[in-house]
Structure 1
Amino acid sequence: MNAEIIAVGSELLLGQITNTNARFLSAQLAAIGVNVYHHTVVGDNPDRLKRALEIAEERSSLIIFTGGLGPTKDDLTKETIAKHLGTSLEMDESAMQSIQSYFSRANRKMTENNRKQALVLKGSHVLPNENGMAPGMFLAAGRHYYMLLPGPPFEMEPMFAKYGIPAIAAKMDTQAKIVSRVLRFFGIGEAALEAQLEDLIEAQSNPTIAPLAGESEVTIRLTAGNATEEGAIQLIDEVEAKILSRVGQFFYGYDDTSLMKELFKLLKEKNLTVAAAESLTGGLFQEQLTVIPGASSVFKGGVVCYSNEAKVKLVHVREETLAEHGAVSAECARELAENAASLLGADAGISFTGVAGPEALEGHPPGTVFVGLFIKGQPALAEKLMLAGTREINRIRTVKHGASLLIQALKY
């Protein structure tokens, strides 16, 4: 089954929002063995949408639309498709009840145009919207399948995962079982990783090997097909073992995990707690850790000590340290990490001090960073980083390096 994704909305063409829906849908479809060969973006214009639909029908069997299901006059996706297919729209009573219930709970009067959101293509399989009002729909017509999804990602993503994927899978060849697994790496670039795996990538067939550069990370998606799920898993296991034998030192987890999630799990497993002292990262480490449910079991607390005065008063960094070595130094990073752990009664401490950019500081160029680590019973350590990026990217990379370094320190 080959698919095309058509995103509807003039705001996408104007650059007002990013088309994250296409990325999400492509990844989800690849995981179940559906090939996505084309992405199309079209504005809120019925003639151009009709033409995009005609082109898609010439080259794809599954056509997925996102957006244009709302209550306003420029939301014309389902009307345009109904006219093109020679069918009509009908009221879905379940969706209508859900919309009415929403307005009742919000103590708001429902305007008449909101009834439009409950209209669906006649004969379609309705996909409930548990996070909004407009339902999705899935329709088989001739040689094609049509799926219509709402535009807002917080509505579209759970709808597709819960209802869209099963609807598509039911129409696929059930003889083949498709299994995907994502391997996550940190500390190695995409080019360097590909160079290590070049022969495996060139010889790939089943499983397929798809490297992808992410936000300061690299992932590899392995996808295998087999008559049984167990057989597909075995194929992936074999290729994964070859990959990790070469670049395993950079591997940290699977699928939707993150460095911070892995750090949280490790702290939890070892029954340890951590405290943080942050300068250039301004609390970013603490924010990313505490967004994880249950973080209070491993995180004692932290300090944002941006100025030297704050470093001295709040984290008890010695004035002599700052005078002799400066805030951008291994000495300062070590004191910050150890003192944060001591002051907050944690088993481990982590600190971040350096130059996010764009200006130099204390004679150090932008991207000069020191990450301090302290684990109870061991001497404090500091790792120097030399990053090359924007101020925002340097801060993000600093936190990821810190999480990775702490994971390695706690493992061994």
Structure 2
Amino acid sequence: MSDLHPARSRSGGLRIAMVAPPWYELPPRAYGGIEAMVSDLTTALVRRGHTVTLIGAGRADTPADYVATYPEAPSSRIGEPLPEVVHAAAAAATLASLDVDIVHDHSLAGPLTAASRTAPTLVTVHGAIDDDLGEFYRRLGGAVSLAAISGSQRGSASDLNWAGVVHNAVDAASFPYRADKEDWLLWLGRFSPDKGAHLAIDAARAAGRRILLAGKLTEPSEHDYFSRFVRPRLGADAEYVGEADAARKRDLLSRARCLLFPIQWEEPFGLVMIEAMACGTPVVTLRRGAAPEVVVDGVTGFVRTSPDELPDAVERAGDLDPRACRAHVERHFDVSVMAEGYERLYRQVIAGAALRDRTAVPASAPALAG
């Protein structure tokens, strides 16, 4: 971690400003998929010879230059608008003092300041694109270029200013591979109807299998869902084990027979699926959002159409080869692959911005005669 200074380029490398969301430290201790992805990407880019200034909130363990907008990440205030807005304002002030080739923004409010900068801005869209989010990015127009995290997400709003698709990734080497699995199932995520924890319990029970549930349970909406749909289903064969930190998550994922992930929305990616497969653990999920892009049906898990198909898939998951799961992640979803993808987008966006600058008509230029 270092004090703020103008970013310096290395030979052949880019000068990159990376803006994380403000909600969790980098990397997060437990929940925080976006922050984990940003942290891993930043580390990979520095190792590949780029100069990166990372802007986030709270503590950061990073080889990049780091600037904090909050001394502690305001995790307890998720859902409030002001922490995001304050973070965006502080990040904009930092960016104004940096000499960079590109800004890579992962926050929601941060892109609002992109038009005031000379450096181009690439925004990774981490959420599902509903009407409001789609309109937000349409209003930004050409001030930002957008990176999708899946083809499914990009296809849901194909008219936006997309630069390309780069799948999320993990540092596969940081996840323990284990070939011998134990005889229980795992659900891991945040307690939301979208994530289908109650359906995971129902499917496990129908299959006659024990299931452990490890998830984020902090926001009022999460407590409401848990109380109404999850707690009544708990019992000797369905146990809530709390929120798992990084070490506990890896332990659970590596030991489970399979990860049960019955999503109920158009999941834009689903990082936990590749975390499981990195451990050699197959994924049983539903055909929503990016799941068919992430899981190879019949090889690294099963992608089913309806919840009543899940119990049979759970049984068949024990026949899949853990090595195929691990190899799939190493080949397609390792952080090195993600870093290469973003390098291509950075250079593409930078070149596009330079071309627009060269061809722009100066404001003072005389109008051509008709």
Normalising to structure 1: TM-score of the pair? Answer: 0.25
Normalising to structure 2: TM-score of the pair? Answer: 0.27
Which one has a larger percent strand, Structure 1 or Structure 2?
1
User: Which one has a bigger Cα radius of gyration?
Assistant: 1
Which structure is richer in relative contact order (CA contacts within 8 A, separation 6 or more)? 2
